[in-house]
Amino acid sequence: MSETATENFYDVVVIGGGAAGVGVSVALKHAGIENFVVLERNSVGASFVAWPAETRFITPSFASNSIGMLDLNSIAIGVSPAFSLEVEHPTGAEYASHLRGVSQFFELPVREQTDVVRVTKVGEDFRVDTSNETLRAKHVIWAAGEFQYPRLHGFSGSEFCRHTATVTSYQDLPGDDFIIIGGYESGVDAAYHLAYCEKQVRLFDKGCPWKDESSDPSIALSTYSLERMREEWFDQQVELFAHTPVSSVLQIEGGYEVKTLDGRSFRASTQPLLAGGFEGSHKLVADLFERREDGFPVLNAHDESTIVPGMFLCGPAVRHDSHVFCFIYKYRQRFAVVAKAIATSLGLPAEELENYRKWGMYLDDLSCCGEECSTC
């Protein structure tokens, strides 16, 4: 092997420099893995910077304490957004700065402005092609996130809508009458900020997440969102349409027409906002995983591909049976599982990862058991 080839060979390549990529990279260091690199298409935390200016984390941040409780929005042991930022519900930009601070503190080997165009298994190793070079690795962790891949389809005319992920600031949106399609977290968040600006809002959802009796925020709205919906001005400015799926959107003279499956039509002069969630970056490497019936990748107990050994998934797209490891405080519990599996394959003891067990970020397979888990 040539000197250049040796320099470009890693035990692990982590793809993505967001919360998942930074968090699992810290776990790799704790596992004693040194020969790895983190490839980030933009800059660390870029997806969070792209959030609408008014959007806040729905989970509260609180500094770690003597009884071992970890900040809900922390992605590494011993760090806390609440402590470093001194805020309870960080903005996207604030959280991105926290991720950059964590990356610098742990001296993570991040390469920014590096666009990965292809991941291929060649023999026992992986070939990772970027826009300007080719890397080789024993293991690859796909942690490229969700926010940059909004779900833009689902009904006729959805292309006439504007996805909430493309909104820079709700305060700056022109118009006084808005229709929002999708009533989960991003839809309620958009309605809240528009109503605060004294805009009239009609919010449509195929279900009724604000009335769901589940305590699991993977299914029902967070407490933070429900609390904001109780504001008097929210009730005055926002009209909720539960169990009202949208069938189509048309662009008409003077604005837009939204039709629902029950045959009703609604008009607005402003472009409808689509809060339909995200496709997820895992679809970019779909050929390296088996697919579940719901479209998510099939994983073994260590979040590894069942058909391409050495390929791991990290982030909110992780699924095991009916367990949804969404949001920071759920999928972070898988960081140590992935790091330990890779360390074991490299013959490393990974003794420092035992600290993760003490902090509730378990090493046992599937120790986070979904909505019945008090840790979540």
68-90 tens-digit pLDDT:
667 889 999 888 999 999 999 99
| Highest mean pLDDT pick, 164-168, 220-224, 368-372 | 164-168
pLDDT in tens, 339-356: 999 999 999 998 888 777
Cα–Cα nearest to 316, from 371, 287, 276, 278: 278
Alpha-carbon span 193 to 56, nearest angstrom: 11
For 335, counting Cβ atoms within 10 Å of its Cβ (0-12 exposed, 13-18 middle, 19+ buried), the class is buried
**Structure tokens that stand for 304 in this block:** 């590894």
Cα-Cα-Cα-Cα torsion 169, 274, 166, 211, nearest 10 degrees, comes to 60
The DSSP symbol for 172 reads: T
For residue 264, name the pLDDT band (cuts at 50, 70, 90).
very high
- Residue 40 to residues 47, 77, 115, 257, 329, Cα–Cα distance (Å): 11, 22, 7, 40, 22
Alpha-carbon span 113 to 229, nearest angstrom: 39
- Residue 352 confidence (pLDDT): 81
Is 75:99 a contact under the CB 8 Å cutoff?
Answer: yes
| pLDDT greater than 60 at residue 113 | yes
pLDDT in tens, 274-303: 998 888 898 899 999 999 999 899 999 999
CATH class of the domain at 158-273: alpha beta
Is 140:127 a contact under the CB 8 Å cutoff?
Answer: no
Task: Over range 186-193, report the average pLDDT.
Answer: 97
For residue 216, name the pLDDT band (cuts at 50, 70, 90).
low
Task: Output the average pLDDT for the chain.
Answer: 89
**Amino acid found at 325:** F
- Residue 68 confidence (pLDDT): 62
Q: Classify 43 in phi/psi space as left (phi over 0), alpha (psi -120 to 50) or beta.
A: beta
Alpha-carbon span 29 to 14, nearest angstrom: 12
Q: Which SS3 state, helix, strand or coil, does residue 134 take?
A: strand
For residue 366, name the pLDDT band (cuts at 50, 70, 90).
low
| pLDDT greater than 50 at residue 375 | no
Sign of CA dihedral 326, 328, 330, 334: positive
- Residue 220 confidence (pLDDT): 79
**Structure tokens that stand for 61 in this block:** 């941040």
Q: What totals of helices (H) and strands (E) does the chain contain, helices first? A: 11, 17
pLDDT in tens, 137-183: 999 999 998 888 888 888 999 999 999 999 999 999 999 999 999 99
Is 42:112 a contact under the CB 8 Å cutoff?
Answer: yes
At the fourth CATH level, the homologous superfamily of domain 3-148+278-372 is FAD/NAD(P)-binding domain (3.50.50.60)
Alpha-carbon span 189 to 58, nearest angstrom: 9
Alpha-carbon span 278 to 8, nearest angstrom: 33
Q: 9: part of which helix (H) or strand (E)?
A: strand 9-15
| pLDDT greater than 50 at residue 127 | yes
Alpha-carbon span 302 to 314, nearest angstrom: 10
- Residue 54 confidence (pLDDT): 97
| Residue ranges, CATH 3.50.50.60, the chain | 3-148+278-372, 158-273
| pLDDT greater than 70 at residue 6 | no
Is 18:51 a contact under the CB 8 Å cutoff?
Answer: no
| pLDDT greater than 50 at residue 2 | no
Sign of CA dihedral 218, 224, 227, 233: negative
